[in-house]
Amino acid sequence: MSMQTLFAISSPIAMLGWIALLIAPIIPKWANRIATYISPGLLSLAYMSLILAFWSGAEGGFDTLANVQLLFTQSEIAMAGWLHYLAFDLFVGAWIVREARAAAISHWFTIPILPLTLLFGPIGYVLFLVLKTSLSLRRNQKFLSKSSQSAAA
């Protein structure tokens, strides 16, 4: 199998997970199953195959930036790196949806954050943390102001 074929197969597997997350309020259980286990699991298995087959023959390493760049000049290792991105970004996306639900944050807030997490993983992650913190601060403030009102009354 060529790396191009593997690349072509892996993208729809990841997209399936992202679409499931976008429509998570409709299919909450399955969105979580697909985006946490099925899609990242499949991508990780493909990653394992690549590492088993190509890691020992790869040039480069993790010690210097130049060596990391050397690693990614090999298409098999770059493909493995790409699978790593796809799998772990999706996993973080699924975590965001779970956290948002647990904190009773409206899904409308997470909808713009999910594509950002897909495209620029860490940016989406940071924005979600900002969102979550600011919403919880606002709730605390409301709660405080309410309690002070009731105390005054």
Partner 1 sequence: MTNVVIVMNNDMSTNRTSSFIQRIKIFIKEAYADAPALSALTIIMLLLMVPKLGAMLLDTRLHNGVNIWVKPVKFDVALVVYTATLVIFARWIPQQTRTKTWFKYFTAAVIISIVYEQIWIGGAAAFGTSSHFNVATPLMGIAYTIAGFGAVTLTSGALVFGILIARNKRTGLTDPLHFAIWLSSILMFVLTVITASYMSSQLSHFVGGNLLDTESHAIMGWAKDGGDLRVAHFFASHIFHVLPILVIAASHVFKTVSRNMVIAMAVLYSIFTFYTLWEATQGLPFLAGIIG
Contact indicator for 80, 54 with CB cutoff of 8 Å:
yes
For residue 7, state whether it binds partner 1 (rule: CB under 8 A).
no
Residues 6+ apart with CB under 8 A from 152: none
Which amino acid would we find at residue 106?
S
Looking at residue 33, the DSSP 8-state letter turns out to be I
Phi, psi of 63 (to 5 degrees): -80, -35
The region of 10-18, 45-53, 130-138, 144-152 touching partner 1 under the rule CB under 8 A is 45-53
For residue 38, state whether it binds partner 1 (rule: CB under 8 A).
no
For residue 151, state whether it binds partner 1 (rule: CB under 8 A).
no
**83-142: which residues touch partner 1 (CB under 8 A)?**
none
What angle is formed at CA 93 by the lines to CA 111 and CA 13, rounded to 5 degrees?
Answer: 105
For residue 81, state whether it binds partner 1 (rule: CB under 8 A).
no
The region of 20-28, 46-54, 87-95, 104-112 touching partner 1 under the rule CB under 8 A is 46-54
Q: Which is nearer to partner 1, 52 or 152 (CB)?
A: 52
Among 7, 54, 72, 88, binds partner 1 (CB under 8 A): 54
Q: Which is nearer to partner 1, 36 or 110 (CB)?
A: 36
Ramachandran assignment for 60, one of left (phi > 0), alpha (psi -120 to 50 degrees), beta (any other): left
Residue ranges that bind partner 1, judged by CB under 8 A: 1, 6, 45-46, 48-57, 76
